[in-house]
Structure 1
Amino acid sequence: MIRALLVALLLTAPAFAADMSVFVRNQRSDGVALELFSRDSEKVWPGGDKVFLIRPQARKSVPISCEPGEHICWGAWVAGNDSVTAGVGPDNDQPCDTCCFICTDHSTETVDLAE
């Protein structure tokens, strides 16, 4: 009985969140807005109708907390002009083969935004 209870507790224990960083290099002459989108849930970073703003030619490290193994894609656009996009775009609806990564604890993913 005790073993069954321990097994049940192990199976229902919440998964730990992974802490990782996304390092963004904005090589554009325009400032950009960036969001991160989970492919496995409805989670968006930074969330709450906010975006990460990266100045022209700036670099910024963005810390996130995610579930290990979670698929995350980035979408970026020129600040103030969401018709100029990169990655999956501001609405997470553009196809992209190179703008997603997997959440891994204590890791850093690099995003390069070129002209």
Structure 2
Amino acid sequence: MGLALAVAVAAPALAADVTFVMRNDHPNAVEVELYSQDRDHIWPGDGQVFYLDDGETKEIPLSCEEGETICYGAWISGDKQSYWGVGPENAENCENCCYTCTGGETEQINLTE
């Protein structure tokens, strides 16, 4: 019993996967980052972005912690003043741009003019 308790206490947070489904309906290419609201983590990270050409739909699978809140930030490539969601650097407030990591996929997120 003591050993089982020690193992349970040492176990890492439960991992889950979620897929963000994003469609770029804007006439210009857009860049996207996904931001954890519960820890210091960005997808894809390392200064990179997910890139969507105009008219492109992309499925973005992530590994995240079960129950973690993730918000998207998107902006016109080369124009960080025109954005959706929390925008570049997770700097803005948004409505309906955050999802809970529980597995599965989001509804299609349409980035329009």
Q: What range is the shorter-chain TM-score in?
A: over 0.9
SS in 2 for 1:40: coil
Aligned to 2:6: 8
Q: Which has the larger radius of gyration?
A: 1
Q: 2:78 aligns with which of 56, 77, 80?
A: 80
Report the RMSD for the aligned CA atoms in angstroms: 1.0
1:112 aligned to 103, 110, 113, which one?
110
Residues 1-115 of structure 1: matches in 2 within 5 Å?
3-105=1-103, 107-109=104-106, 110-115=108-113
Any idea what the Cα deviations from partners look like across 1:58-90, whole Å, max 9, x if unmatched?
101111110010000000000011111110000
Provide the rounded CA distance (Å) in 1 between the counterparts of 2:13 and 2:93.
Answer: 30
Q: For residues 37-69 of structure 1, give each alpha carbon's deviation from its aligned partner in whole angstroms, at most 9, with x where no partner exists.
A: 000001100001000000001101111110010
How many pairs were matched up? 112
Q: TM-score, normalised by structure 1?
A: 0.92
Please tell me the residue identity of whatever aligns with 1:17: A
TM-score by length of 2: 0.94
User: How much has 1:111 moved relative to structure 2?
Assistant: 1.8
Identity %: 40
Structure 2 counterpart of 1:99, one-letter code: C
CA distance in 2: counterparts of 1:97 and 1:16, whole angstroms: 27
Q: Say which is worse superposed, 30-39 or 8-17, in terms of deviation.
A: 8-17
